[in-house]
Each structure stands twice: as C-alpha cells, then as structure tokens.
C-alpha cells in the first residue's frame, strides 16, 4: 500500500485550549478513512488542519510525500479538495458554475474547453448533468451535497476531505452519497478522509476507522477492530451491542454509562 496522506505529531489549539494532541495518522491511496468520536473530539479540526484552513502549532502533514505546510495555496488546491459541512457560503450560481469553481487552481484569465469537459464529466459521474443549468440554491440538500462533491472532484486531486457529508440528509440520500463516494474512490484511486458521526455508516463504507477522544486517536484500523464494545464504552460512554456481519460491525446503542463509571468528568 502506498501512503497517500501522512500526519505526524500534530498539535493544534485555540488560544490556551489544546484541541489536537500529538496526533499521528497514515492513510493509503484507494482508501476511505472515517474519523469518528464524540462532539469536541477534534474531528473537524483535524480535517481543517490537513487542508490548512487552520494552521497547526506543531507537526507535519504530507500528501504524496510533499509537505503541505510549505505549499502555496494553489499548489495545495491541486492536491487536496475539501467538501464543507454546509453550503451556506455558495452564491446563487448555476450548478455548472459551482462545479467550475473546482477548476480554479488551473484557470488562467479565462476557462478552457478542458475545464468545461472536466465539469461535464464529473456531473455525469454523479448523475446530475441534467441539473447543470439549475440554480444551486434551489436544489434539495442531497442534490447540493452531490454538487459540492462534484466541485471537489473537478479539482482532480488525490485527496478529498469531507466534513460531515451526510449530516443533513435523509437515509436514502445518505446511502446514495456514500455509495457514490466509495465507487469514486475505487475507480479513481482516491483517498477520502471523512469526519462523520454515524458509526454504522462509517462501519459500512470505510476501509479505516479513526476513533478520537479529546484530541487524540484512541484506536485506528479496520472497522471491526475499532468499533468494539470496549472502545464505545471508553470513548462514547455507552453500552452497545456490536454485531459483526460479513466483517461489518453494526452498533446497537443500549444505554448510557454513568459519567463517573465511564471515566468522564462532569
């Protein structure tokens, strides 16, 4: 396996509050790695540090052995694409124009036929080419999420970061988006890093689960090795029934564990 993304000894904090503590992680190409953990564990912060939206206080981040911290912004945008948790900052452009924004790292003073071709290609891959001239702000949540993924694919990067891509979607669209992501990762040999709350969705679609608590990685590896009753009790403070079917764990939460028993502070 070729290591596509490497994070070593990463630290990040807001003022005097440390959020990420000495975090180290490696993800290979052609893999989906889901970052899970309770609220405040540092999932989204890690995603934003990798994309340099936030600047770590210490540590190294490399993509294809290139140090992210030393790249210019356009160089970084040719290696890492980012799909945010929501689309509130997207102006009321057409779907085609929103996806064309993904070509910004390659555009000169004006677009080219190559840029248009890439946009049409990714719209077709996601099955939304019929929406090309529709207003982005008039789409459903599931359609908007596909457009944002298309915009990231238009960047033609090796790494795609997704922050809670299914959080505001119904079950049908959650499955649809994750099936598309898994298919694209396999076909294009991409590396996808996903911050996600839904443990069963993460278990079903991920090659690697990275479980975090209080800014540290508690466990990382195959879903069946990470999503155990012991880890769920320690990290989430819950008792759960974990069933393994075809190497995929399914989590059935049963009850909370009292905070003092779970090792939490009030």
What pLDDT score does 14 carry? 86
Asked whether residue 219 falls in the same domain as residue 131, the answer is: no
Q: Tell me if 203 sits within 8 A of 210, measured CB to CB.
A: no
pLDDT at 94 over 50: yes
pLDDT at 152 over 70: yes
pLDDT at 145 over 50: yes
Q: Confirm whether 255 is domain-assigned.
A: no
- Average of pLDDT values for 143-172? 89
Residues 129 and 109: their CA atoms lie apart, in Å, by 26
Asked whether residue 144 falls in the same domain as residue 184, the answer is: no
pLDDT at 169 over 90: no
Number of domains observed in the structure of the chain: 2
Q: What is the CATH number of the domain that holds 66?
A: 3.40.50.300
pLDDT at 200 over 80: yes
- Average of pLDDT values for 211-217? 95
Mean model confidence pLDDT for the chain: 89
Q: Confirm whether 128 is domain-assigned.
A: yes
**Which residues neighbour 195 within 8 Å (Cβ) at sequence distance 6 or greater?**
34, 35, 43, 44, 46, 47, 162, 163, 164
Which domain covers residue 47, as residue numbers? 1-79+157-228
Residues 221 and 33: their CA atoms lie apart, in Å, by 9
Of 1-5, 145-149, 262-266, least confident by mean pLDDT is 262-266
pLDDT at 265 over 50: no
The band of 91, judged by pLDDT with boundaries at 50, 70 and 90, is low
Q: What whole-number percentage of the chain has pLDDT above 90?
A: 61
Q: Which residue has the higher pLDDT, 105 or 11?
A: 11
Asked whether residue 30 falls in the same domain as residue 150, the answer is: no
């Amino acid at each position: 396996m070729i290591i596509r993304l490497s994070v070593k000894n990463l630290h990040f904090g807001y003022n005097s509050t440390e959020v990420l503590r000495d975090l180290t992680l490696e993800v290979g190409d052609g893999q989906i790695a889901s970052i899970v953990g309770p609220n405040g564990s540092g999932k989204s912060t890690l995603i934003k540090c990798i994309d340099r939206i936030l600047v770590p206080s210490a540590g190294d981040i490399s993509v294809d052995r290139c140090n992210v911290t030393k790249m210019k912004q356009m160089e970084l945008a040719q290696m890492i694409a980012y799909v945010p948790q929501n689309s509130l900052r997207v102006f009321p452009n057409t779907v085609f124009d929103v996806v064309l924004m993904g070509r910004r790292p390659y555009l000169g003073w004006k677009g080219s036929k190559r840029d248009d071709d890439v946009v049409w290609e990714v719209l077709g891959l996601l099955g939304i080419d019929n929406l090309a001239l529709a207003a982005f702000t008039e789409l459903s949540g599931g359609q908007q999420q596909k457009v944002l993924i298309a915009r990231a694919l238009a960047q033609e990067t090796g790494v795609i970061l997704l922050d809670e891509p299914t959080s505001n979607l119904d079950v049908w669209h959650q499955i649809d988006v994750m099936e598309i992501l898994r298919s694209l990762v396999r076909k294009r040999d991409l590396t996808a890093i996903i911050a996600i709350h839904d443990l069963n969705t993460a278990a079903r679609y991920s090659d690697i689960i990275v479980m975090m608590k209080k800014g540290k990685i508690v466990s990382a590896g195959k879903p069946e090795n990470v999503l155990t009753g012991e880890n769920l009790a320690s990290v989430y403070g819950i008792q759960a029934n974990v069933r393994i079917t075809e190497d995929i764990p399914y989590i059935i939460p049963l009850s909370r564990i009292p905070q003092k028993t779970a090792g939490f502070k009030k």
